[in-house]
Structure formats: structure tokens, C-alpha cells
Amino acid sequence: MKQLGVFGGTKHGEPNHCLVNEYQPGRGIMPHEDGEAYEPVTATISLGAVGVLELWGKGRKDVDEEKEKVSEATDEDTDENTNPASDPAAKQERKQPRWRILQEERSLLVTRGGAYTQLLHGIAETDRDERLREVVNWDMLADKERFGNKGVCERGTRVSLTFRDVRKVAKVGAKLFGKR
């Protein structure tokens, strides 16, 4: 990562934190942001099975849900054909991520800048990833054939190593172990 300059321009110029997560089939993590404690770059190495990272716009769901509440409250006064909140296709679209990225085994995914600060990321709770031909990095995959014509993959256990540069590092360890 240092040779690739992944953490170039960050406070420490290299990662000083690694989060290890294990995702078993059927498990995921809801869309979230990592926050301002970290520099706006992550480098994630995937081990074991493949996984699909989903990217969502911040606040989009909350804003749309609030609009939907207002629209539903006035549905008695509004013709259903003129109310976009009553359109089932529109409601379904709001529940979909903006982008999906397939993370192959032994792959490195770097997120930085707007991808880090302006989007939420998560992993769906499913035993099977589908519509893989629609992932944004389909043309970059090393082994597309393994997903067949339908672009489907049964989930296995995936371990992710997420490297970050923590902006403010506490000196607690040094005090605990008598180092200065």
C-alpha cells in the first residue's frame, strides 16, 4: 500500500489501524459511515469468499422517507396518479444502493475522497449475491466465468482487513506499559 501511495496525503502517510471483520453467509452490515476520526481513505483486503460492497447516498433514504410520510398524510386530498410517493417502483428504487462493487478473494479495494465522505457503505444480509453482472467493476474482475451467465454467487465466509489512518492516536499504551 505504501508503494502504491494509497495513504499518501494523509496525516501519517500510512495506515495505523486495521479492523478485521468476518462475514459468514447471511450476515452483513447496514449502510454506515466510518466518521471523522479517520483520514478519508480506507484500503480493504478481502480474504476467503467474495463479497459485494453496496454504496448509498447519505441522507437519501431519510429524506425520501420523510417526503413519503408527508405524501401519505395528504393522500386523502391527492389523486394517487399524481403522487410519486405512491408509485411502488419509485419506493423500490429508493431501497436500492447507488452502486455495488464485487470484492474478489485476495483483492484490494481503496475508497477515498468523495467515495469515503459522501457515501454510506454496507453489505447486504444474504446467502447469495445476485445480479453480479451489474456491479460497477464487472469488467475489471479476474474471473467472471465463475459467476456464470446469471451472475450469481453463493456466499461463503469472507474476512476483510480494513486499513485506516486514525487522525488522533492516543498514547494510552505507552503509559500502561511504562514507556515514554
Q: Where are the domains of the chain?
A: 17-59+98-176
Give tens-digit pLDDT for 79-128. 444 444 454 444 444 578 999 999 999 999 999 989 999 999 999 999 99
Q: What confidence score (pLDDT) does residue 175 get?
A: 63
Computed over every residue of the chain, the mean pLDDT equals 83
If one looks up domain 17-59+98-176 in CATH, what number appears?
2.60.120.1520
Residue 105: count other Cβ atoms within 10 Å of its Cβ. 16
d(CA 82, CA 65): 18
Residue 169: count other Cβ atoms within 10 Å of its Cβ. 12
